[in-house]
Chain A
Amino acid sequence: MTTVSHRRPRGGGALAGLAPTALLLIGAIYCLFPVLWVLIAATKSPAELFSTSTLAFGTGFFDNVADLFAYRDGVFWLWAGNTLIYAGGGALLSTAVSAVSGYALAKYRFPGRNLIFNLLIGGILVPAVVLAIPQYLLFSKIGLADSYWAVLLPQILHPYSIYLARIYAAAAIPDSLLEAGRIDGAGEWRLMSRVAMPLMVPGMVTIFLFQFVAIWNNFLLPFIMLGDDGKFPLTVGLFTLLQSGANQPSLYNLILTGAFLSLVPLIALFLTMQRYWRTDLSSGAVK
């Protein structure tokens, strides 16, 4: 018996695929266009920005980057470093907490399991706004508002990551392996750290990526928590740059170059880690 090819279902041939392909390409162009435009705009010198065609590359990219380096003693690079600390450190901690919690919820039967799971997951329904203001006030009381901790700590617990980790642990860790370990006399801590966690690594990469992007993109929390612009992440820094430069076309080059540079790391991470960007971890393996 011959198998029917998926590529060419019945009739139509190449032409039939034209309309769907065209629609998808229009979507792709719509999504790429602003990113390409800011790449072009970032290459223009201040004079070229307003004189040359909006879609022609300029000659001022390196001058713009140098200007951005020089802007207020290099505060832009401080923002970039801060973002890396918040997103990298926060996502690392978040992944660890989520993986261990997900493992416990997936592989143990214990009183209160459903209650704890529902409470943790219910957090997803709580709008950030209800939390950000009291978090700020509480951090103020212990003198930690306007500190790195104020941005890092509230973003560690992430309900959706715990949910993903539980699904992944259930699918990726065979019960028989844990039982075998127990028969061999391994303690629960050892089973978790030596057996379960290594099996969960592919799922943890996915959780890390989603959490990294979520923290990188967060604006409200650092905007509320931080007053000292030396602690700003890129999002809040770019906002203040825009705020001070919106009425000064001479600053547009800096703003556009800053916006472009702030996109590069995430887009690079995104393109190199393609196979880990998944929202469904239930198959237990990342293909």
Chain B
Amino acid sequence: MKRSAPYLFLTPAIVLFTLFLAVPIGYTVYLAMLRTKVSGLGLGKGSRREVFVGFDNFAAALADAELWNGWLRVLGYGTLVLVVMLGLALLFALLLDSARVRLAQISRIAIFLPYAVPGVAATLLWGFLYLPSLSPIREILDIDFLGATTVTYSMANVAVWGGVGFNMLVLYTTLRAIPRDLYEAARLDGASEFQIALRVKIPILTPAIILTTVFSIIATIQVFTEPTTLRPLTNTISSTWSPLMKVYRDAFVTGDLYSAAATSIVIAAISLVLSFGFLRVVRNRAFGEG
């Protein structure tokens, strides 16, 4: 009994993994290698059939200018989001952990609060705050937040607002786990609060920072909710603004499942490459290995 017990306990997870992860991935790869071939006039039964085309769909996805524009937009947007969101998360976590701050509890709750706001609702709130007729911000600042160039910043703001709290919590929890004696030792050696943050806390936080960065990269590459929700409020966001929006359009609007499958695999591959690339660079920097 003891020998079979762990397998028994893991059965639900393994079944779910197979049905909702392994099979769908396999099916996507399969679809990505097919294409509909129309013979004759394309009328009648049997004139349309699926044929195996190998890597043709991937080649088409990689050559697709519309998709490349989407990548460039997401690259700009994502860099902005990652730097600002994680920078603020780190700053707030360090401030919360420093001994001198007052009202820390209230601030922590307030900054974590947007985590409880769904992306659709967050985009909706900010979307209305960007509209001239309703916004207290527009009363002070005369900026068109939904213009062709500003819209990227406005969208990045929504993502930063929604994500900073969770990342702050991850970093703050890590900081709280550090024995306080370590800081006392540094203080006795004459280190200032700022030096302690820079020389003691940030190095200890590095693994947590790497973890949050990788998760944020994966999430940012798949940006979909914010631009899709903002679209009804502005005409500066196209239906293929981000790569994932193009996948959605291919699959469900134009009905080209094969392109959609190929593109989604390209998105997955790029996010894997970026995540592992980031890990590699960081490891080389941190440990000085070649």
Contact = CB atoms under 8 A, between A and B. Distances in A.
Contacts of B109: 271, 274
Interface stretch (B49-57, B63-71, B130-138): B130-138
Which of B16, B109, B267, B271 has the most CB atoms of chain A within a 10 A radius of its CB? B16
Q: Is the interface of B mostly helix, strand, loop or mixed?
A: helix
Which of B110, B124, B232 has the most CB atoms of chain A within a 10 A radius of its CB? B124
Contacts of B116: 213, 263, 266-267, 269-270
Interface string A226-253: 0000000011101100110011010010
Contacts of A171: none
Interface stretch (B34-42, B198-206, B247-255, B281-289): B247-255
Contacts of B17: 119-120, 123, 157
Contacts of A6: 99, 180
Given A9-B187, A54-B135, A116-B14, A28 B222 contact: no
A200 to B, nearest CB: 13
Q: Is the interface of A mostly helix, strand, loop or mixed?
A: helix
Contacts of A224: 248, 252
Given A31-B164, A37-B125, A24 B107 contact: yes
Interface of A: 4, 6-10, 12, 16-17, 20-21, 23-25, 27-32, 34-35, 37-38, 41, 49-50, 54-55, 97-98, 100-101, 103-105, 108, 110, 113, 116, 119-120, 123, 125-131, 133-135, 137-138, 153-154, 156-157, 162, 182, 187-189, 192, 213, 216-217, 219-220, 224, 234-236, 238-239, 242-243, 246-247, 249, 252, 255-256, 259, 262-263, 266-267, 269-271, 274, 277-280, 282-283
Given A31-B161, A219-B119, A127 B124 contact: no
Q: Which 8 A-B pairs have the closest CB atoms?
A: A17-B100, A28-B110, A188-B5, A246-B232, A104-B9, A134-B24, A108-B6, A157-B16
Which of the four size classes fits the interface of chain B?
35 or more
Interface stretch (B75-83, B89-97, B148-156): B89-97
A271 B134 CA distance: 29
Interface of B: 1-3, 5-10, 12-14, 16-17, 19-21, 23-25, 27-28, 31, 88, 91-92, 95-96, 98-104, 106-107, 109-122, 124-129, 133-136, 139, 161, 164-165, 169-170, 173-174, 177, 180, 184, 187, 193, 218, 221-222, 224-225, 228-229, 232-233, 244, 247-248, 251-252, 257, 260-261, 264-265, 267-268, 271-272, 275
